[in-house]
Amino acid sequence: MPFHPTPPQLFDDFEEGRITRAQLHAGLDWHARGLVEEIIEVHENPIAAWWDTMLAKRAAERWSSRHGIWRIRHIFFALSKVPEFEPASLLWNALHPDVPLHCFFRMRREPVFRLLKIEIRSGILHVRVAHGSTTEGVTKENFILEHIGNKLEAHRAPSKKNF
């Protein structure tokens, strides 16, 4: 899955003059088409969609009971800001309270996105996620999240560091 800027990144790029209005519209159109394709997919295969939703709800409940819903939302939002992180297009509105937390988990539906591990060591969050395509191989990545000011910022962990 190639990287596409999230809607907030598109608006920031447009306001700072890095892209034209036509490029902004094309980027937003890409996101809108993706949503329509998912709606069609759900209508064509409602049983698979229901099953994935149940798995996602279970994962969201498990992670939020361990770490709290707002910590999970802030982790997702921080991950959406990581440069060229493919699942950012799924996570960019994670702080919006009207979007249920389970909507950000994709257990079987592609592109998959799963939390694998969250550890807090010395006041720093270490997060491991799995994302990508089940046919091309799921990528597992480690991230280090730090509080900078009142924001949580994510950085890719060195590839040799596995926790």
Residues 90-96, mean pLDDT to the nearest whole number:
94
Residue 132 makes CB contacts below 8 A (sequence gap 6+) with: 1, 86, 111, 112, 138, 139
The phi, psi pair for 82, rounded to 5°, reads -70, 130
**Top-confidence residue, 158 or 56:** 56
pLDDT of residue 160 exceeding 80, the answer is no
Q: List, for residues 117-127, the tens digit of each pLDDT value.
A: 999 888 789 99
Query: Given this model, what pLDDT does residue 122 score?
Result: 82
Burial of 156 (0-12, 13-18, 19+ CB in 10 A): middle
| 162 three-class SS | coil
The residue behind tokens 């890095």 is 18
Q: List, for residues 130-152, the tens digit of each pLDDT value.
A: 999 888 889 999 999 988 877 88
Confidence category of residue 4, pLDDT binned at 50, 70, 90: confident
155 closest CA partner among 124, 133, 109, 131: 124
Q: Which helix (H) or strand (E) holds 129?
A: strand 124-133
Q: Is the dihedral angle over the CA atoms 11, 16, 21, 26 positive or is it negative?
A: negative
Average of per-residue pLDDT values in the chain: 91
Query: Is the pTM value of this prediction over 0.85?
Result: yes
Beginning with the edge strand found earlier in the chain, give each strand of the sheet holding 137-148 in spatial order: 112-121, 124-133, 137-148, 151-156
Q: List, for residues 28-44, the tens digit of each pLDDT value.
A: 999 999 999 999 999 99
95: number of Cβ within 10 Å: 14
Which token pair is 83?
Answer: 């440069």
* Terminal alpha carbon distance of the chain: 26
